[in-house]
Amino acid sequence: MATVSQQDTRFRLSEEQALELVEAYGTPLYVVDEVGFRCRIGAYMAAATAAYADSRVTFASKANSSLALLAIAADEGCYIDVASEGELRAALLAGVPASNCILHGNNKQAAELAFAFEAGVGEIVVDNFGEIELISELARTDEPASKIVGEVLGVDVGAPRTKLHCPKLALRLAPGVDPVTHAKISTGQADTKFGFNISDGAAEKAVARCMELGLPLVGIHCHVGSQLLDPQAQRDGAEALAEFAVRMKRELGFTTKVLNAGGGLGVRYTDGDQPTPVEEYCKMIAQSVVSALQGSGLKPTLIQEPGRSLIAESGVTLYTVGVVKTVPTAVGATRTYVCVDGGLSDNPRPALYGSRYTVERVARSADPDGEVVELNGDRTRTVTVSGRHCETDLLFPDIELPADVRAGDLLQVLCTGAYNSTMASNYNRFRRPPCALLRKDGSHCLIQRPETWDEMFEREIIPAGLVRG
């Protein structure tokens, strides 16, 4: 059983910093701490390399793909995991060499693959048999990639571009391990849309097919789930991959040069979330791989693909309190709603996964108006911090806040660096918030400006003749 980290490593703004940022950029506001992000990457890399010398850390850009953060990750030596053409374009725009990008996706589009070929991505993680055949077509033809894709699938991918050679390939495997996490972020079990199952022989057939087609298959990959506080599933997944590699060498003569154990290390959203320290986590993954490979002669590069654990704890979201309202509940008690100026559209995770967060008052309103919660001698009280969207979503339920929380107060929600800005939407026609970066020297700047009203409506078309008169 892994030990857990008791240490609270989450970034928090001081009152002074929060007031300065809000004066400059308003709320809601995402804030990312550059030093924290760089340090977490450094710590992960050091832990990975100490546990297994030939290690590589790939930042899963789905966690946060703002260009400045991708540039920082690359600057710190990370490769970048991209799960779509859009994420690949983001990495390229951030200055990441295509050769340091790994393309994922369970239903890659033909045009997306053609784009990846032509960009020269370092590796494609292949998900299914159809994709193997399509890649083979792309790899074999002398035609420009975009032309062959257009012909094979009847897809219009624009003007033919120059043909480039096939990137290295890895196979995404479903190792048949079922992690303890929310069902929507659990991906390693046999019943999954991702990858080739080991248990039903699909993975072995996929290796054989790639070899038969002469494709540049270099390795295997799995990602069993996300926000895993107990790393047993990742350890089992990595072990299953290594055992599979040994079997493929023995049975098919295939040499695994790259073994990618995915991401998934959990973070501290609330004090109850106590993740495994990264040093111990990396040791566990490496040991399970090394012991399964023993005697096989295989010495693959070990890749890890963390997203959340590199960026989540370095981010906070700032909100301003608006309405404070106490209402009767069905059981004869009362509930106090503390409504903030954002919510579902900037952080859908509570609605999607029932995710819990830590919310703190970081600055008190200088000029209170609206309802003031009675103190009753208590210093704190339990409230529901809710958003301002037309949903009965309890954004952050059961939060302890100072009992006199009131309109104009500033709240900071901890640990919002991952899967917040990348999952934000325009629901209720809310503009997505800006993101500020707190620099090493204590200064700050925007890395994503606020969305404008023009941007909100620029895709809209009202066809001629739609409206009478």
Ligand X SMILES: Cc1ncc(COP(=O)(O)O)c(C=O)c1O
Selected from 13, 51, 57, 60, the binder of ligand X by CB under 6 A is 60
Selected from 309, 336, 386, 421, the binder of ligand X by CB under 6 A is 309
Residue type, 149: V
Number of residues that bind ligand X (CB under 6 A): 16
What's the min distance (Å) between Cβ of 307 and ligand X?
A: 3
Indicate if 390 belongs to the active site: yes
Check residue 131 for interaction with ligand X (CB under 6 A). no
What's the min distance (Å) between Cβ of 87 and ligand X?
A: 11
Q: What are the angstrom distances between the C-alpha of 5 and each of 13, 41, 229, 418, 463?
A: 22, 17, 10, 20, 58
What's the min distance (Å) between Cβ of 223 and ligand X?
A: 4
Q: Can you read off the two tokens belonging to residue 53?
A: 């010398």
Q: CA 259, CA 385: separation in Å to the nearest integer?
A: 43
Q: Which is nearer to ligand X, 102 or 405 (CB)?
A: 102
Q: CA 74, CA 55: separation in Å to the nearest integer?
A: 16
The set of residues, in sequence order, having a beta carbon less than 8 Å from that of 264 and lying 6+ positions away, is 179, 223, 224, 225, 226, 227, 228, 231, 233, 234, 306, 308
SS3 80: strand
Q: Which is nearer to ligand X, 61 or 345 (CB)?
A: 61
Q: Is the CB of residue 112 less than 8 Å from the CB of residue 85?
A: yes
Q: CA 235, CA 450: separation in Å to the nearest integer?
A: 41
Of 87, 105, 92, the closest CA to residue 170 belongs to 105
Binding segment for ligand X among 141-149, 275-283, 302-310, 366-374 (CB under 6 A)? 302-310
SS3 98: helix
Q: Which of residues 82-111 bind ligand X (CB under 6 A)?
A: 104
Angle between helix 129-140 and helix 110-119 axes, rounded to 10 deg: 50
Binding segment for ligand X among 145-153, 306-314, 369-377, 428-436 (CB under 6 A)? 306-314
Selected from 105, 262, 277, 342, the binder of ligand X by CB under 6 A is 262
CB atoms inside a 10 Å sphere around CB 398: 11
- Window 207-226: contact mask with ligand X (x via CB under 6 A): ----------------x--x
* Sole residue written with tokens 């079922």: 178
What's the min distance (Å) between Cβ of 105 and ligand X?
A: 9
Handedness of CA 416, 346, 448, 14 (dihedral sign): negative
Q: Pick the catalytic residue: 390, 415, 435, 445?
A: 390
Q: Which is nearer to ligand X, 150 or 237 (CB)?
A: 237
What's the min distance (Å) between Cβ of 361 and ligand X?
A: 29
Q: Which is nearer to ligand X, 306 or 350 (CB)?
A: 306
Binding segment for ligand X among 43-51, 154-162, 261-269, 390-398 (CB under 6 A)? 261-269
Selected from 137, 305, 341, 346, the binder of ligand X by CB under 6 A is 305
What's the min distance (Å) between Cβ of 226 and ligand X?
A: 3
Residue type, 376: N
What's the min distance (Å) between Cβ of 33 and ligand X?
A: 18
Q: Which is nearer to ligand X, 305 or 404 (CB)?
A: 305
Q: Which of residues 61-80 bind ligand X (CB under 6 A)?
A: 62-63
HSE toward the beta carbon, residue 160, CA cutoff 13 A: 13
The distance in angstroms from the start CA to the end CA of the chain is 72
What's the min distance (Å) between Cβ of 356 and ligand X?
A: 16
Phi, psi of 437 (to 5 degrees): -110, 125
Selected from 36, 176, 306, 342, the binder of ligand X by CB under 6 A is 306
Selected from 307, 315, 350, 387, the binder of ligand X by CB under 6 A is 307
Interacting residue ranges for ligand X, rule: CB under 6 A: 60, 62-63, 81, 104, 223, 226, 262-265, 305-309
Catalytically active residues are 390
